[in-house]
Amino acid sequence: MKRISWRDDDGKLQSMPIRPDIIVHTPHTEVNILVVEAKRVGNKNYARDIKKLSLMTRHESVHPDYHYGYRLGVHLIVDLPNRNIVGNDVYRNGKVDADLTGLLWRILH
């Protein structure tokens, strides 16, 4: 279990516990490489995944205890019955990286 933190629209510090679907890192170090969130195609509630990926890939955090700085984050939308990836976004430094998102899409298809 991990936690993320952010400032809300009023500037108040907020935090919540999270459990990423997949993480790639070097244990007991600050070497955080990849965090992945995956959802089924029918599940349209992606806001929490997007918040997690945005906050976990930032180079800086509002709370030093909840700073991860993952190099990349990947959001996958999966059509399980047809065994397809139907959507993806790649996050770098808290934002969707259009070039990496396009590259991953081409690799997956």
How does residue 30 score in pLDDT terms, banded at 50, 70 and 90? confident
- pTM for the whole structure: 0.91
Is it the case that residue 44 has pLDDT exceeding 90? Answer: no
CA distance 39 to 28: 28
DSSP conformational letter for 94: T
Give tens-digit pLDDT for 54-98: 999 999 999 999 999 999 999 999 999 999 999 999 999 999 999
